[in-house]
Structure 1
Amino acid sequence: MQEKRLFLWLILLCFSANAQIKGIVVDEKDKPIPYVNIWVENENIGTTAEEDGTFSLLLKETKNLVFSALGFETKIILSTNLTVVVLHSKALELNEVVVERKKETSEIVIGDFSGIKLNSGVTNTGQENVHVWAKFIKSNERIKEHPFIKSIEFVTGSRLKNVLLRIRIFKVNKEGFPTEDEVEEDILVSIKKGKNNNIVDLTKYNIKIPEEGIIVGFEYLKLEQNKYEYSYTVKGEKGSQKGYAYEPSIKGFFPGSESLLLLNRDGSPRSIRYGNVEIALKMKLSN
């Protein structure tokens, strides 16, 4: 009898130490919100809601969870109070919206990586480590004359098909640190398997690069469709271990400039000027 009680106690202890938190994120009209960012407050552990708004997260103890989606108010909830999480749409402040007229009489290309061997890049193999890889675009005289972003082009590598990647455009302050999202809606890119060039048309967002510059981010989504599982062996140990990564990789070159940034999902900097790996990012700009 004592052995049976001890066995049941151990099961309960394991369950409490690793609680599987599940729920769904919806808007005020009870409509599921896809691809919501969810992370533990003040930590790097987190996940992404699936297309139908559902999510699950393994936690060892009760934590505050942050729910963030472009176009919605951020919400912080205790992990024990989760079932249905309702996010409210941000109120649009029309008096702050200023649409500047474009000339569109000429355009330029910056960051052309044609002929450069893409021998490096960035990936997400951190498993529970959630982040955004980003590149700081510093303004100059050419950009000032052609400040509007028409499109961006970048190269990916993926071992899976039907992968999703989110593009984030951040405003920066005078020191080059990210402040807030320039675009308050999802820019999602479908990534094909293998090595591919990806061109994203940003014309409709009317993004103007200010004198402080701008940051282009590549956010990994912790979705089942993006999860790549693999096996590996550790020297001196028997058998193989299982690991996983979230696709795709973003190609770049080494050495490059000190323009690579590592950001948290809320856009706050985790590491600024992250070495001299440079993301291969081509941008078409117009006046």
Structure 2
Amino acid sequence: MTKFLAVTLFILSITAFSQNRIKILDAESQKPISYAKLTFKDKHYYKNTEENGEITLEKSEEIFEIQSFGYEDFKVQQNQPTYLLQPKFTNIDEVRIPKPKFSKTFTIGKVSKENSFYGVHNTIWMVAKELRNDISEAPLFIESIKFYSRLFSKKSATIKINIYYNENGIPGDLYKSVIVTCVKKQKITEFIFPKPFTLPKEGIIVGFEWILNQENSYQKMMMINGEKKETIGHDPMIGSLTENPKNIILGNLSQEGWIFVNGSNNSSQITKNLGIELKLTN
């Protein structure tokens, strides 16, 4: 018993030494920042904090930058147990913003329960789709977004939905970003925005960015190059449509930021269209 205990303590001490637990906080409120994104020097992946703003890093992982929507990007100069992100404030010239009338309802896009899904694969961490405003010349407002989701292992999992300005079919500046929780028993996920916001005349790009943390991760066996290997996956998976892919964009993350390419003509990686439905009001 004593020998077993000593071996256990030795293993635990090695694990603790090879890992580093840190936390990300709001510099003003000192509250944890959930799902902040960390990129690393000489690594081709990123990780996200848990809901409590904490994350465990391997000894070989040296943070390059910390990002979170609504905060200034933080370039790391030296390692420390706690990082404080400054809230981002934008000076906006006073303009007259129209208010919704809520007298009519419209939808853009389509969602259906099918058996094809997008998930984290190789270096593809975001899949997105262009949604154009072909309905009305009058101002329209986005009320909610709906999509089909499936969870492989977890009872619930989170994913980040990024809404970008549309610059000729490729994501421009980030317009909105929200964290959405998908539930295993609920196949169609609908997120209602706290406050409707304007749909630009040129439309938007809606992207699903996977949150790579322990809360969403699971292990599974897969056939890779003819060999059965254990791999790490992340819930949720996002449903697609059995129709030709149109207006699909793929996102790869580099240390310079997201690199987007049009994936509609890339038959080697894209075989289905992304299922998204927006609910609009006038």
Report the counterpart of residue 109 of structure 1 in structure 2: 107
**Aligned pair in 2 of structure 1 residues 96, 224: CA closer, same or farther (>3 Å)?**
farther
Note if 1:241 corresponds to 2:229: yes
- Structure 1 residues 187, 166: closer, same or farther in 2, change over 3 A? same
Is the 8 Å Cα contact of residues 176 and 213 (structure 1) preserved in structure 2? no
Using the alignment, how far apart are the partners of 2:26 and 2:140 within structure 1? 35
- Aligned residue runs from structure 1 range 145-160, under 5 A: 145=138, 147-159=140-152, 160=154
TM-score by length of 1: 0.78
Bigger Cα displacement from structure 2, 252-261 vs 269-278: 269-278
Residues 45 and 130 in structure 1, CA contact (< 8 A), matched pair in contact too:
no
Q: Point out the more displaced range, 265-274 or 49-58.
A: 265-274
What TM-score do the two structures reach when normalised by structure 2?
A: 0.79
Q: Which runs of 5+ in 2 are unaligned?
A: 1-14
Amino acid in structure 2 at the alignment position of 1:188: I
CA displacement, residues 80-124 of structure 1 (integer Å, 9 cap, x when unaligned): 52322111011242436753222322121222345xx62423111
Select the residue among 185, 195, 214 that pairs with 2:204: 214
Which residue is 2:182 aligned to?
191
Shift in alpha-carbon separation, 1:146–1:100, aligned structure 2, 3 A: closer
Q: What is the aligned length?
A: 259
Determine which of 256, 262, 277 is the counterpart of 2:272: 277
Q: Distance in 2 between matches of 1:216 and 1:33?
A: 23
**1:255, 1:148 → 2: CA distance?**
27
Point out the structure with the larger helix share.
1
What secondary structure sits across from 2:51 in the alignment?
Answer: coil
- Asked whether the 8 Å contact 1:125–1:246 carries over to 2, the reply is no
Q: Is the 8 A contact 2:250 2:260 kept in 1?
A: yes
**Root-mean-square deviation (Å):** 3.0
> Do the aligned partners of residues 73 and 98 (structure 1) sit closer, same or farther apart at CA in structure 2, a change above 3 Å counting?
farther
Amino acid at match of 2:172: T
Deviation of the 1:20 alpha carbon: 4.1
Q: Which residue of 2 aligns with 1:10?
A: none
Q: What aligned pairs does 1:227-266 form with structure 2 within 5 A after superposition?
A: 227-232=217-222, 241-264=229-252
Residue identity opposite 1:187 in structure 2? V
Aligned to 2:4: none
Residue 84 of structure 1 corresponds to which residue in structure 2? 82
Q: Summarize deviations over 1:20-72 as a string: whole Å, max 9, x none.
A: 454211122432211101113686411001112112333647x5511111111
Show the counterpart of 2:11: none
* Aligned match of 2:3: none
Cα 1:133/1:267, change in 2 over 3 Å: farther
1:120 is the counterpart of 2:120: no
Q: State whether structure 2 residue 35 is matched by structure 1 residue 35.
A: yes
Q: Which amino acid aligns with 1:112?
A: K
Structure 2 Cα separation of the partners of residues 177 and 190 of structure 1: 26
**What amino acid does structure 1 have at the position aligned with 2:263?**
R
Give the equivalent residue in structure 2 for 1:179: 172
Q: CA deviation at 1:209?
A: 2.0
For 2:87, the aligned partner's letter is: S
**Pair 1:130–1:241, CA change in 2 (3 A):** same
CA distance in 1, matches of 2:44, 2:165: 22
Mapped to 2, the partners of 1:143 and 1:82 lie a distance apart of: 52
Give 3-state SS (helix, strand or coil) of 2:197's partner: coil
Cα–Cα, structure 1 residues 75 and 107, in superposed 2: closer, same or farther, change >3 Å?
same
**Structure 1 segments unaligned to the other structure (5+ residues):** 1-14
Counterpart residue number, 2:53: 53
CA contact (8 A) 1:164 1:191 kept: yes
